[in-house]
Structure 1
Amino acid sequence: MAENLNTHTTSPLKIIPLGGLGEIGKNTWIFQYNDEIMLLDGGLSFPTEEMHGVNLVLPNIDWLIENQDKVMGMVVTHGHEDHIGGIPYHLQRLRIPVIYGPRLALALLGDKLKEAELLNRTELVSVGPRSTVRVGKYFLVEYLQNTHSIADSYTLAIHTPVGVVIHTGDFKFDHTPVDGRKFDYQKLAEHGEKGVLCLISDSTNAEVPGFTPSERSVYPNLERYIKEAPGRVIVTTFASSVHRINMLLEIAQKTGRTVSVVGHSMLNMIAKAKSLGLLADFPESLLQPVPVTNGLPPEQVLVLTTGSQGEPMSALTRISKGEHRQVKIKTGDTVIFSANPIPGNTISVVRVVDRLMQLGANVIYGKERGIHVSGHGAIEDQKLMLALTRPRFFFPCHGEYRMIRRHAQTAREMGVPAENIVLTENGDVVGLTPEAIRIVDKIPAGIDLVDASRSSMVNDNVLKERQRLAEDGFVAVAIALTPQATFAARPQIAVKAVARSAETRNLEDVIRTALVRAQERFGEFRLPGEAGEPEQYDWMAIRQLLERTVKQVIREMLQSYPLIQVLLQTPQVDSAAVLPSLPPVRGEAEALLAP
């Protein structure tokens, strides 16, 4: 039992979402009381189509870095990437003394930190059901088992000086969980009886009526499709879906199929789940490498693979393109998508399905097949959470704005007064006291973009340049000048990815003619010098004239705004009175202008 931290103080508890409000993903929370901060989760999300060359999207943590001396630690709810994926990147800049979390989440996080050589930056402490941990002076956190699409997932009861705050994490009420680990209804109801000041609750399925079906409900349909398949079966699902993987392994054993696992993330998840006792005890002979199952009759083989979202580098995408070294689609294969596309991934998934069909596979996919269920509670689940906890104040989270607004409506239907419900955006500082909840301030809450190389960040200017390149193309002009301010050679012009019409086919010639005319004005930029000394010029002013000339021609001839790069090579000069010349750029120009 957590001790009572209510000191009857008038100081408010500040709750600040850095991510997860008005969006799906990058769930990251700040809880601050006086001079101490506790973090809850540190997730990431994935780029939209216009984020060219971006691999991951993180919440901006500049405010946290400015206040990192106040950070006492972090608590983690579960192991999904949208809750732990950003932590390794944050630890490169932010000191987090200790991170508490479920065993599976910390096993996955530990691998990430080891790979990034960051294990010495924090202490990882595993917790179990009904564990209580202290973070600083002001926060005691109880871990309450819940049910979700990943094993080892928790709802948190956070004891603070102003009262108990329940953060649901991601949840649904699954009465027949695959692993038998049921939601801790008793503790939720106990807190509701004693008094919950505020409920912060997952809104992902706030628009979906009814209860979310149990994970176990997909078992009969999966079994039927696998049993009826005439040849090899390939099943793709989320690598984190340990419950689904457990069922598929059980079905494979039941139907006499040997299983191969394809995809690094799924192999890693299965290894972690097995070592933690989260995977059922199957005979070792059930799981075999692909070369072994390739030698078995097709009707005796089941392949588990990543790629349910059509990710470009995933195993299933490479299989659909015929690019996987070990798994090739053959006529008679059955491919089962035991996952629904996340918003934004539908087109990628459909393309994979089309390619698999073209290769001769029978593809089973779609909601109507009954082979996937969500890990998030629908409206009736959300009502049950409100009924068990009976909060005075309500803070809907984890969802796009329409979901959060609909969840607030559900709370009003359950008796929470409208004035006791707060609707926020990322960066809003919510002040919570025993008497009131309201937005009291705002902190910066932008995004940080991780380059596709995963080795650096993409700033706003770089992203804007990439967007311009993708939308309007690129024009490069290379010019070399003599000491007498004449062209040393014919200006070289390259136009890349720019849409042309009949009127603009001669764009290069028009630019070159305009540059020759601009050269006639170079005399205006001659600098006064001593008698007998060679002529000197204001090379910077000449450069600006040439840039303006190129931009003017392009604006007059094109309806688009391509990125323009003028590369100017000027003579080296010694006089300190002259603006420094630009460095030689012939090599750069040749590289840019190469076909």
Structure 2
Amino acid sequence: MTNAPSIALPIPLPELTTPPPIPGNALRIVALGGLGDVGRNMTVLETQGRLLIIDCGVLFPEDHHPGIDLILPGFEYLDDRLDQVEAIVLTHGHEDHIGAVPFLLKRKPDIPLIGSRLTMALIEAKLKEHRIKPYTLTVKEGQREKLGVFDLEFVAVNHSIPDALAVFVRTKAGTLLHTGDFKMDQLPLDGRLTDLRAFARMGEEGVDLFLTDSTNAEVPGFTTPEREIAPAIDRVFRDAQRRIIVACFSSHVHRVQQVLDAAQKSGRKVAMVGRSMLRNMGIAAELGYLHVPDGVLVDVKKLDDLPPDKVVLICTGSQGEPMAALSRMANRDHRIEVGVGDTVLLASSLIPGNENAVYRIINGLMMLGADVVHKGNAKVHVSGHASAGELLYCYNIVKPKNVMPVHGEWRHLVANAELAVATGIPRRNIMVTRDGGVVDLVQGRAKLVGAVPCGYIYVDGSSVGGTTEALLKDRRILRDEGFITCIVVIDAATGKIASGPEITARGFAEDDRIFDDVIPKVEQALAEATGNGVRDEYQLQQIIRRTIGGWVGAKIRRRPMIIPVVIEA
């Protein structure tokens, strides 16, 4: 068992040991995702032999995940315990909080899902594509539900998607308040404020453990209200000479609403591009969260009949996703051809890790002649997360006994912890950990007691969990270092080389003739091995790999994948 790490000198998670059995009077919190990454959020609560899951999201791959579509939380902790799960509570409808639900329900389809009206509609549509009919319970702010040993109360919070909820969990072992993703916008577009009165009431009752959003903990002050970006969007619409292409998250209802309103004022027609955008905005409009002005929305097929200065497209791809509409436009692989005079508006913040992909898209669009407007050069987006000033308010209102920062990279978690310290919460009561960390709450005192296995689960085409780190390493080597094949035919009777070595290389700037220098070395190494009685093909392949690898490393300063082929004839 390892004590909770100091915030100033955090102990790396690998030093944590396997947690002991949960005490009978404890509430155990297991972080299966969302700590150390901005994504794949998932927290498991355990008490009296029953489990409650809060959120179940995906992480989007970065450059060092070649070929990967999505990354899931580490489900292995739950594999033999799914019968103990009371429900999955979903705080809001963003992919990093709901995207992994279909993959978990494929293991046990009858786990109930709980969330707000919009969140349930979005997850039900997603599950329909996976042919899963879920058990759902729609809740709203102020509602209280008892699920076995867990007593839940839901609290309104505002975020960059409507209908977000925090959840207050009462158990015999203690109480826990999980904010989900939130901010304290005092002028929300939908008029739905974060319910600080409920936070204060729960604080007066007693919050034993406070799990709070860390994403903007490094940002001083307060997050800008959504309403303040409307003038910047109106300015883009006023100045644009030809088409306007807006890229944002497919679930960002508030931003799409602002674009629709700006289009109506400027006399433009709007078409939505992308399956997820069409699906999500259709759901939002049907439920009344998105108000589409009459006559503004048109089918994308009708755009060719409209003059360019009367057209707006709303699409996905604001994070540089390679298969999203905007990326394909930048690569000239889409029916919409971006050209000189078009204006592209990136109405989103950069998710950490996506910077290079986004800047590649910006550069590609500008090379095609488009004017690209983004958060770096105009006030066209505000964050959906509470900044440091708002987090300080929350700590002072809730007055929690213990704190566990969630949702963010390590730097965000540490910054959030320091805010808690500044409000008077003792460092020893602040649990900073990464995915896999296990915290026990016993008699009002939280303690980091160990860690459970919590590796990435990769979605790679139709394969879920089959892709390993070793396979990804091979892909990275193939991408970055190239590969060499070496074919040798060995005489089965004499053990001598009958043909070869024949070397072929790919991914090298040097001419193939440079490898002529290593052929005698391979011949000598094989002759010595066979002379010593080595005939096993695998052993001979390893000799070839070591010989070529050593030579290439010293001569060319590369570490390619080497594929030796030994054939007996």
Measure how far apart 1:112 and its partner are. Answer: 2.8
CA distance in 2, matches of 1:201, 1:352: 33
Measure how far apart 1:426 and its partner are. Answer: 1.6
Q: Is the 8 A contact 1:14 1:31 kept in 2?
A: yes
1:175 aligned onto 2:186: yes
How many residue pairs end up in the alignment?
543
SS in 2 for 1:424: coil
Deviates more, 1:93-102 or 1:376-385: 93-102
Change (3 A) 1:352 1:550: closer
Q: Is the 8 A contact 2:220 2:387 kept in 1?
A: yes
- Equivalent residue for 2:250? 239
SS in 2 for 1:46: coil
CA distance in 1, matches of 2:146, 2:480: 51
Alignment of 1:310-329 (within 5 A): 310-325=320-335, 327-329=336-338
- The letter of the residue matching 1:555 is G
CA distance in 2, matches of 1:190, 1:422: 24
1:33 aligned onto 2:47: yes
CA distance in 2, matches of 1:443, 1:18: 9
Deviates more, 1:360-369 or 1:164-173: 360-369
1:67 aligned onto 2:81: yes
SS in 2 for 1:551: helix
Q: 1:340 aligns with which of 349, 352, 358?
A: 349
Q: 1:352 aligns with which of 349, 352, 361?
A: 361
- The letter of the residue matching 1:349 is V
- Equivalent residue for 1:291? 301
Change (3 A) 1:226 1:493: same
SS in 2 for 1:302: strand
After superposition, the C-alpha distances for 1:105-162 in whole angstroms (9 at most, x for unaligned) are: 2322223322223x15x52332222233333x21121221110001121111111112
- Equivalent residue for 2:16? none
Alignment of 1:15-34 (within 5 A): 15-34=29-48
Q: 2:135 aligns with which of 110, 117, 123?
A: 123
- Equivalent residue for 1:221? 232
Measure how far apart 1:481 and its partner are. Answer: 4.0
Deviates more, 1:189-198 or 1:246-255: 189-198
SS in 2 for 1:348: helix
Measure how far apart 1:557 and its partner are. Answer: 4.4
Deviates more, 1:159-168 or 1:468-477: 468-477
- Equivalent residue for 2:543? 548
Q: 1:132 aligns with which of 144, 169, 174?
A: 144
CA distance in 2, matches of 1:391, 1:469: 50
- Equivalent residue for 1:534? none
1:84 aligned onto 2:91: no
TM-score (norm 1): 0.85
1:304 aligned onto 2:302: no
Q: Is the 8 A contact 1:30 1:39 kept in 2?
A: yes
- Percent identical pairs in the alignment equals 35
Change (3 A) 1:314 1:487: same
CA distance in 1, matches of 2:173, 2:338: 60
Q: Is the 8 A contact 2:174 2:208 kept in 1?
A: yes
Q: Is the 8 A contact 1:60 1:447 kept in 2?
A: yes
Q: Is the 8 A contact 2:177 2:209 kept in 1?
A: yes
After superposition, the C-alpha distances for 1:226-245 in whole angstroms (9 at most, x for unaligned) are: 12323322222222110111
Measure how far apart 1:493 and its partner are. Answer: 2.5
1:562 aligned onto 2:560: yes
Alignment of 1:362-441 (within 5 A): 362-441=371-450
CA distance in 1, matches of 2:475, 2:253: 38
Question: CA RMSD, aligned part only?
Answer: 2.5
Q: Which entry has the higher C-alpha Rg, 1 or 2?
A: 1
SS in 1 for 2:86: strand
Measure how far apart 1:519 and its partner are. Answer: 4.7
SS in 2 for 1:344: coil
1:267 aligned onto 2:278: yes
TM-score (norm 2): 0.89
SS in 2 for 1:507: helix
Measure how far apart 1:66 and its partner are. Answer: 3.1
Q: Is the 8 A contact 2:200 2:398 kept in 1?
A: yes
After superposition, the C-alpha distances for 1:251-302 in whole angstroms (9 at most, x for unaligned) are: 211221111111222111111111222111521x211012323222222222
CA distance in 1, matches of 2:522, 2:346: 59
CA distance in 2, matches of 1:240, 1:557: 49
After superposition, the C-alpha distances for 1:175-203 in whole angstroms (9 at most, x for unaligned) are: 22112222223322221222222211001
Q: Which has the higher contact order (CA 8 A, sep 6+)?
A: 2
Alignment of 1:154-233 (within 5 A): 154-233=165-244
Unaligned runs of 5+ in 2: 1-22
- The letter of the residue matching 1:164 is T
- Equivalent residue for 2:70? 56
- Equivalent residue for 1:248? 259
CA distance in 1, matches of 2:401, 2:464: 45
Measure how far apart 1:214 and its partner are. Answer: 1.3
CA distance in 1, matches of 2:52, 2:399: 24
Q: Is the 8 A contact 2:521 2:547 kept in 1?
A: no
CA distance in 2, matches of 1:248, 1:160: 44
Return structure 1 stretches of 4+ with deviation > 6 angstroms.
Answer: none
1:497 aligned onto 2:507: yes
SS in 2 for 1:514: helix
